[in-house]
Amino acid sequence: METRSSTRRQATRTKLYEAAVTLIAEQGFSATTVDEIAERAGVAKGTVYYNFKSKSELFEELLRHGVGLLTASLRQAAEDTVAGGGTRVEALDAMIRAGLLFIHRYPAFTQLYVAELWRTNRAWQSTLLVVRQEAVAVVETVLRDGVAAGELSEEIDIPLTAAALVGMVLVAALDWQAFQPQRSLDDVHGALSLLLHGRVSGH
């Protein structure tokens, strides 16, 4: 059972994550100071160092926290669909929707995550690859189950297809947020659903 102090500490960490993610999305990692993060979170500078050894550790934990939330929502969407008698393809469709919902809720985090994936000289690169693989692995499991159940072709390359699906949702959702914000979540989900079901060719 969580104690009151651990609940309070978690609430403080969440506040720091939110402050850090918005500041770093606005001005970049290097330009963001611990003072600014503390000020934006409404806490003393010492509180940041009490919870995290450094700004780098805060950011690394932020990546873990954010991708962990995404992974959990993808897994939940798949499990709920299958528990309700849905197919693996329907589970993948539900995961696309869950991914879009997550990005809609945390656009600044998603922007940061996508930007950091392409930087190779960061201290937290190995952490980022581990958490990315956890998210992709959830999709791989559903694809593997779909192949085993005869719902999906045995010819599909599971690791690449899983990465492509995750990438499709991330990039399409960022495009939606940045350039087509007037579109509804249902609308964007419907477009990606057509891609998933292979109904783009018109045949």
DSSP string, 93-109: HHHHHHHHHHHHH-HHH
Mean pLDDT score of the chain, rounded to an integer?
A: 91
List, for residues 146-182, the tens digit of each pLDDT value. Answer: 999 999 999 999 999 999 999 999 989 989 988 999 9
Residue 200 banded pLDDT, cuts 50, 70, 90: low
Position 114 scores a pLDDT of 84
List, for residues 132-146, the tens digit of each pLDDT value. Answer: 999 999 999 999 999
Superfamily of domain 1-52: Homeodomain-like (1.10.10.60)
As annotated, the residues of the chain forming the CATH 1.10.10.60 domain(s) are 1-52
As given in the structure block, the two tokens for residue 50 are 């009490």
The fold of 54-196 is Tetracycline Repressor; domain 2 (1.10.357)
SS3 of 42, please? coil
Q: Is the pLDDT of residue 113 over 90?
A: no
As given in the structure block, the two tokens for residue 105 are 């809720």
Position 201 scores a pLDDT of 55
**Candidate from 36-50, 101-115, 178-192 with smallest mean pLDDT:** 101-115
| 156 backbone φψ class: left, alpha, beta (φ>0; ψ -120 to 50) | beta
Q: Is the pLDDT of residue 76 over 90?
A: yes
As annotated, the residues of the chain forming the CATH 1.10.357.10 domain(s) are 54-196
List, for residues 50-72, the tens digit of each pLDDT value. Answer: 999 999 999 999 999 999 999 99
